[in-house]
Amino acid sequence: MNHPAAPGSVSPADQLRATLSALLDGLPPKQAAGAVDRLIATYRGATPTDAPILRDRADVVAYAAYRMPATFEAVRAALAAFADAVPEGWAPGSHVDVGGGTGAATWAVTDTWGGVRPVTVLDWAEPALALGREIAAANPALREAEWRRSRIGAALTIESTDLVTVSYVLNELDEADRATLVDTAAAAARAVVIVEAGTPAGYARIIEARDRLIAAGLHIAAPCPHSAACPITAGTDWCHFSARVSRSSLHRQVKGGSLPYEDEKFSYVAATRLPVAPAPARVVRRPQIRKGQVLLDLCEADEQLRRTTVTKRHGDLYKAARDADWGDAWPPFDSQS
């Protein structure tokens, strides 16, 4: 449901890429790579922390250049699946991004839905908010956004809004603050989209949040085809997806290798009070294409994980299966009409 940019205009995705690469122009490559190394080491250490990890401009420039393209793509993929499940034509009239940092999710929202809406970014790290505001000057839909210092904790308040996003934040919170954040978001918003790293621990945090969102009366829009219990037995597997991210020169410098892209693994949940039509089933692994057949691992509406084999004999469905991607709805909505 990504809106193509109007002819002659630049999409938010392209604008973000250009803006982030310009950000690095003024920074000697060694200094940028050093800041990324420090950041990676910090994230490997103990989180949650009592004070912001993003402490100064070097930290946030490193974060923005190194991580923001990936968190942007993960949120964009989650929002696309969410947008497919809500009534056609719905777009959020307002957006609050909690733990928004440099604002990756705000860019993803503007890439998913055209138009301008009130946007508020909440974070406790002032340098992240300052850089987010600076980067957002390049996005006409974000020029009026409010970047506000706020600590996620017992005193957190979120004003009533259509959409709350929480992207790569739960990992930095203890159990009590995670619960407060999810409950406060559920009470404030018509839709809540939460994204975490696509690891077993990230998935566990998503499931914990999913349970709270359902308990608060929201329905799951994506990725699940239902709002019943997840059929994955805890500890045996984890539900996650993959988003392709173009690598910047900084990525190549820090991580080596020459591939022009990398795949960001993420887990997510999108829940809402709007009427929802979730996918009939979702492709939960990379499809395996064999001679004359495609094997699809599906999470289905009857709360089962099932492998289905689509062969040439299935005609159009086979063509659709060859195009199906990990994370897609199945069958594609169009093939049902």
CA gap 323, 317 in Å, rounded: 10
98-106, 212-220, 230-238, 241-249 -> range binding ligand SAM (CB under 6 A) = 98-106
CA gap 114, 120 in Å, rounded: 17
DSSP three-state, residue 303: coil
Q: Does 66 bind ligand SAM (CB under 6 A)?
A: no
**How much of the chain is helix, strand and coil, in % rounded to 5?**
40, 20, 40
Q: 169 to 198, contacts with ligand SAM by CB under 6 A?
A: 169, 172-173
Q: Does 151 bind ligand SAM (CB under 6 A)?
A: yes
Contact with ligand SAM (CB under 6 A) among 167, 242, 267, 272:
167
Is 127 or 278 the residue whose CB approaches ligand SAM more closely?
Answer: 127
Q: Does 139 bind ligand SAM (CB under 6 A)?
A: no
Contact with ligand SAM (CB under 6 A) among 13, 24, 96, 128:
128
Closest approach, Cβ 292 to ligand SAM, in A, equals: 42
Runs of H (alpha helix) within the chain: 12-25, 29-44, 57-66, 68-85, 104-112, 126-136, 175-188, 200-215, 249-255, 316-323, 333-336
Q: Are 92 and 191 in contact (CB under 8 A)?
A: yes
Q: Does 105 bind ligand SAM (CB under 6 A)?
A: yes
φ, ψ at 83 (rounded to 5°): -60, -30
Is 100 or 223 the residue whose CB approaches ligand SAM more closely?
Answer: 100
| Tokens coding 101 | 């940092």
Closest approach, Cβ 333 to ligand SAM, in A, equals: 28
Q: Are 247 and 66 in contact (CB under 8 A)?
A: no
Q: Does 104 bind ligand SAM (CB under 6 A)?
A: yes
Contact with ligand SAM (CB under 6 A) among 71, 120, 139, 267:
71
Q: Does 202 bind ligand SAM (CB under 6 A)?
A: no
Using CB under 6 A, list all residues that contact ligand SAM: 52, 54, 68, 71, 99-101, 104-105, 123-125, 128, 151-152, 167-169, 172-173
